[in-house]
Structure 1
Amino acid sequence: MTRIVFIGAGSAVFTRQLLRDLLTFDDLPPLELVLHDIDPDRLRLAEWVAQATVRHHGRSATVVATEDRRRAVAGADFVINTVNIGGHAATVTDFDVPESFGVRQTIGDTLGVGGVFRALRTFPFLDALAAEMSELAPDAWLLNYTNPMAMNVGYLARRHPEVRTLGLCHSVHWTVHDLSRLVGVPLDEVTYRSAGVNHQAWVLDWRRGEEDLYPLLDRAIAADPGLRRRVRVDMYRRLGYYPTETSEHSSEYVPWYLHDDAEVERLRIPLRDYVGISAANAEEVEGLVRGGPDVPYVEPPEQAAEYAPQVIHSLLTGTTREIQATVPNLGLIDNLPAGAPVEAPVVVGAEVRPTPVGELPAQCAALNSAFLQVVELTVRAAVEERPELVRQALMVDPNTAATLDVGRIWALADAMVAAHGDLLAPPLRVAVPLD
């Protein structure tokens, strides 16, 4: 029986999506679906959701729920990680403290102040989980969804290279889906190639047969002034390649927009957007918990798109497919740092084979390189237990550096350390005086 473990299963809405996508496949072997969460109410909800999904699809699968992570991981074939360390309260802190210093954010989960401290909260958990996998499930795959994706995968590669890890995110799929809909071309007629870093990759090639679809996008943008008031359309028009994450995300990874009132207005950037999303997610889960065990099966609104079920299906059945995943840059993108966590095409079937891309366009590589410097300093801060590197990561972060002088950046870092307290590893819970 194949043992699939969901860590952070209390993120029940996302767990439901993963289970629906997984159990849609009718050629899988018998499954043991193991749910783990530290919140007993959320864990109980995840169990109800899993049982409803298994019943609906009529699959050969058993459901196990446990608050004991070691028990969950033991003997796993696949471990899917969706945790959010600190939950909604920590997310609010990631916005409120920087905002008090004048730093604006929209999503705050990938780069910038929010991304750096989300990573620092998550690393101790990842360290423990990876150690348990090495001991109790040494052949398992860790399929990570938790952000900040590049930092988390980079940390795991540095601390636990023995753990087979893929960083999975649906942003490239939905970018191509939405672009194809915009130009009126069915998605199943489209081929594409994308690479870069997670949440800042690039649609390098996008075609229907031999037809380049970028000219159709250019015409759509020219005909619609509203489209030109979006960050990633603005970036595409200036850089020549379309970024693969939303405008809300994309605005945070460059120094051009968020510090400028006029740009925020021109491009309709929704400040603090993720605070509302996070609160709504928490409220939805709480409502489902109150509703009791009769959780209905919910039909997905669109085709299955999550990569973890596809990876599991491919590795179990040998079905070959290409996905996008974050992996170490071992000969994949020539003009990004070797070993850095990059997002690239990966062929999965009987095995997992990342696909070399060559060089990115110089302007795209320049932005990705700046992104990866923040990633590298944050990972090193944790691995080397050097709190000064946390400050230096924020000094080179594009949005933070465009907003604050260096003194204020260090003061902001101290304030974030104090606010998150015990969620951080002990060596990083200190101020760093310059005397």
Structure 2
Amino acid sequence: MTTIVFLGAGSVVFTRELLTDIFAFPELADARIVLHDIDNERLETASALAARVAEASGARPEVRATTDRRAALDGADFVINTIQVGMYAATRTDFDVPARFGLRQTIGDTIGVGGIFRGLRTFPVLAGIAADMAELCPDAWLLNYTNPMAMNVTYLARVAPRLRVLGLCHSVHWTVHGLCELIGVPFEEVSYDSAGVNHQAWILRWERDGADLYPALDEAIAADPELRRRVRVDLYRRLGYYPTETSEHSAEYVPWYLRHDAEIARLRIPVGAYLGISEDNLLVYAATRADPGPVELRRDATEYAPQVIHSMVTGTPRRIVANVANRGLIGNLPDGFAVEVPAVVDATGARPQPMGDLPPQLAAVNRPYASVGELTVAAAVTGDPRLVRQAAMVDPNTAASLTLDAIWAMCDALTEAHGDLLPEALRA
């Protein structure tokens, strides 16, 4: 029996979607599902929801729930990580404190000061998970969804190099899906390649029957002025390759947009968007707890974790997109930092595909992102709080918006606000 553990199972909507996709595979319909969360109420809600999904799917899994992480991990084959350390209160801090210094953010979960401090409070939990897995399920795969994805995968590669880790994100899939809708081409009929870093990768090839589809996208953009009012369309027109994450995300990874009122208006950038998303998630959770409603089954599994598990259990080969430490996978990005590349998964495991060098302009945009992540990970590994400030100094949006004195003062304020959520050595 395959044992699948959910860490952070209290993220009930995501847990429901993942379980729906898992139970869609007959070979996984009798899996052992272990739900873990540190919040008893959320865990209870997730457990009830799991039972409803199983019943609607006609599956007969063994489901158990526990607040004891070690008990959850004991004997696991796959561990799906969706934790959010500090929850909404910490996210609110990540936005409110920088806003007092005049720094604008949109999502705050990848790089920027929001990503830096989210990473710093997540790393200690990841280290504990890695240590537990090394002892209790050393051959298991950790399938990570938690952001900041690239920093988390890089950190795990540093502190637990033997751990089997895949960082999974659906942004590439849904980017290509949306592009296909835009030009009226069925998604099932296209092939594509992407590479870069999580939330800032690039569609390098996008074809139908061997024909390049980028010219059709150019025509659609030329015909619709409103399309040109999107950050990632603006980036595409200037860099030549389409970025793989939403405009809300893309705006805060570069220095060119958020510091300018006119650019925010021109490109309709929703400053502080993630606060609204987080508040909506809280409302959805409350509504789900009060009345779970009918379970809607999807025809096809679209999330990567269920596909990875099915491929490794059954030997069915699949090509996905994964985040892994860069070991010769992208030649002109830093060695060891997590990159996002195609990977083949089957019964033998996962094989990331080398992609050579990125076009130089794309690598040039990715490198500052990687520098922020490298310095943040180094801060956690060495316990040097100066590296936290230096990570913020080289962040493109932060550097474009604030003076150095303001950056350091902002990091001091965030450190004080997050308190014991941060590693003890970095609370200075």
TM-score (norm 2): 0.98
**In 2, are the aligned partners of 1:49 and 1:295 still within 8 Å (CA)?**
no
Equivalent residue letter for 1:211: A
Aligned pairs (5 A) from 1:69-218: 69-218=69-218
SS of the counterpart of 2:252? helix
Deviates more, 1:280-289 or 1:246-255: 280-289
Q: Select which of 415, 420, 423 maps to 1:422.
A: 420
Task: Tell me the C-alpha RMSD between the 2 structures.
Answer: 1.0
**In 2, are the aligned partners of 1:195 and 1:344 still within 8 Å (CA)?**
yes
Distance (Å, rounded) in 2 between the aligned partners of 1:380 and 1:48: 41
SS of the counterpart of 2:27? coil
Unaligned ranges ≥5, structure 1: 431-435
Distance (Å, rounded) in 2 between the aligned partners of 1:192 and 1:253: 24
**In 2, are the aligned partners of 1:28 and 1:317 still within 8 Å (CA)?**
no
Partner of 2:237: 237
SS of the counterpart of 2:94? helix
- CA displacement, residues 316-363 of structure 1 (integer Å, 9 cap, x when unaligned): 000001000100111111111111100000000112111011110000
Aligned pairs (5 A) from 1:296-307: 296-300=294-298, 303-307=300-304
SS of the counterpart of 2:92? helix
Distance (Å, rounded) in 2 between the aligned partners of 1:312 and 1:401: 41
Distance (Å, rounded) in 2 between the aligned partners of 1:373 and 1:427: 21
Distance (Å, rounded) in 2 between the aligned partners of 1:211 and 1:161: 41
**In 2, are the aligned partners of 1:107 and 1:273 still within 8 Å (CA)?**
yes
The size of the alignment, in residue pairs, is: 427
Equivalent residue letter for 2:338: P
Equivalent residue letter for 1:234: D
Equivalent residue letter for 2:401: T
Distance (Å, rounded) in 2 between the aligned partners of 1:299 and 1:77: 25
Aligned pairs (5 A) from 1:329-348: 329-348=326-345
- CA displacement, residues 103-153 of structure 1 (integer Å, 9 cap, x when unaligned): 000100001010000000100100101100001110000000000000000
Distance (Å, rounded) in 2 between the aligned partners of 1:303 and 1:115: 32
Unaligned ranges ≥5, structure 2: none
Distance (Å, rounded) in 2 between the aligned partners of 1:338 and 1:427: 26
SS of the counterpart of 2:316? coil
| CA deviation after TM superposition for structure 1 residue 297, in Å | 1.4
Distance (Å, rounded) in 1 between the aligned partners of 2:109 and 2:345: 27
| CA deviation after TM superposition for structure 1 residue 411, in Å | 0.2
Alignment pair present for 1:327 and 2:307? no
Alignment pair present for 1:250 and 2:250? yes
Partner of 2:315: 318
Partner of 2:50: 50
Partner of 1:225: 225
Equivalent residue letter for 2:334: P
Distance (Å, rounded) in 2 between the aligned partners of 1:60 and 1:360: 46
| CA deviation after TM superposition for structure 1 residue 46, in Å | 0.5
Distance (Å, rounded) in 1 between the aligned partners of 2:97 and 2:335: 34
| CA deviation after TM superposition for structure 1 residue 50, in Å | 0.7
SS of the counterpart of 1:128? helix
| CA deviation after TM superposition for structure 1 residue 303, in Å | 4.4
SS of the counterpart of 1:143? strand
**In 2, are the aligned partners of 1:91 and 1:275 still within 8 Å (CA)?**
yes
Partner of 2:383: 385
SS of the counterpart of 1:27? helix
Q: Select which of 353, 356, 377 maps to 1:355.
A: 353
Q: Select which of 364, 368, 372 maps to 1:366.
A: 364
